[in-house]
Amino acid sequence: MKKVVVMLLALVALVGSAFTASAQDSLKPGDTVEGEITNDTYAVSYEYVGIGGEVIIVDLFPVDILADYDNPAIIIQLNGEELLRYDGYGDTTVVTQLPEDGTYSIIASRRDDADGDSVGEYTLTLRNPTPIALGEPVNNTIDSETIHYYVYDGADEFMLSFARQGDYAPQVSINLVDESATPGRLSAVAAMGGGLVTRGTMGVIPGGDLYVIAVEEPLFSFSFGNPTAEYALGLYVPEE
């Protein structure tokens, strides 16, 4: 019987150590931390005290895009339970809405965990998107190296109005957060932008879902010299 107990304890220890992360400092919105994924430390965990309903954005970017850390993985856990995992390539971003109050583990890792071979330095950034309400437009300035995120979580349908001026022509998109095929990634439901678009309106978008609005450089558009633009962005109730 003693032998059986010892074997069971060994099995529990093995299962419990199947995924271990090196613990680091706690995070707060706006923090950017640096770290390194190695074959000895393939997962680095950061604590975040979150609020139920809060939307967070996590960026995990390799420091050197030509280095060997080309398969980042972002993992979010609560009380040891995995809520989200996304295995990316290169610069990787996830968005999620926290289900409840609690201390979350935000983990920088790599594809295939202990069996992976992606190693290198990274930066991890945690932030909250800016809430935007119907009839309360925002004005901001953006450059080609920055992404601005806004969040709308209202019940009313809406239209989006956008206008910009300057040397930079960003795209604005309205997105849902994917919770199935690519969890934590944004899925666009409407978008406009580019050099020929200085102002425009999109909609009507149904309410009742969580929408993340992104202002960023259009895909396959490459700016030089870090140009900037001033823009106005607003959500409005459609006229009947």
Along the 240 residues of the chain, how does pLDDT read in single tens digits? 433 333 333 333 333 334 456 666 899 999 999 999 999 999 999 999 999 999 999 999 999 877 789 999 999 999 999 999 999 999 999 999 999 999 999 999 999 999 999 999 999 999 999 999 999 999 999 999 999 999 999 999 999 999 999 999 999 999 999 988 899 999 999 999 989 999 999 999 999 999 999 999 998 777 788 899 999 999 999 987
Does residue 119 contact residue 38 with C-beta atoms inside 8 Å? yes
Find the DSSP H helices in the chain: 2-16
**3-class DSSP state for residue 17?**
coil
Domain edges within the chain? 20-127, 130-236
Q: Which of the following CATH numbers is that of domain 20-127: 3.90.960.10, 3.40.50.720, 1.10.260.40, 2.60.120.380?
A: 2.60.120.380
Residue 223: predicted pLDDT: 78
Q: Do domains 20-127 and 130-236 have the same CATH topology?
A: yes
Euclidean distance between CA atoms 209 and 66, whole angstroms: 38
Does residue 62 contact residue 68 with C-beta atoms inside 8 Å? no
Give every CB contact of residue 188 below 8 A, 6+ residues apart in sequence. Answer: 173, 174, 175
- Picking from 136, 130, 141, the residue whose alpha carbon sits closest to that of residue 158 is 136
Residue 26: predicted pLDDT: 94
Burial class of residue 14 in the structure, from the number of CB atoms within 10 Å of its CB (0-12 exposed, 13-18 middle, 19+ buried): exposed
Residue 209: predicted pLDDT: 97
Residue 163: predicted pLDDT: 98
Q: Which CATH superfamily is domain 130-236 in?
A: GOLD domain (2.60.120.680)
Strands 211-216 and 171-177: antiparallel
Euclidean distance between CA atoms 84 and 78, whole angstroms: 10
Euclidean distance between CA atoms 193 and 113, whole angstroms: 38
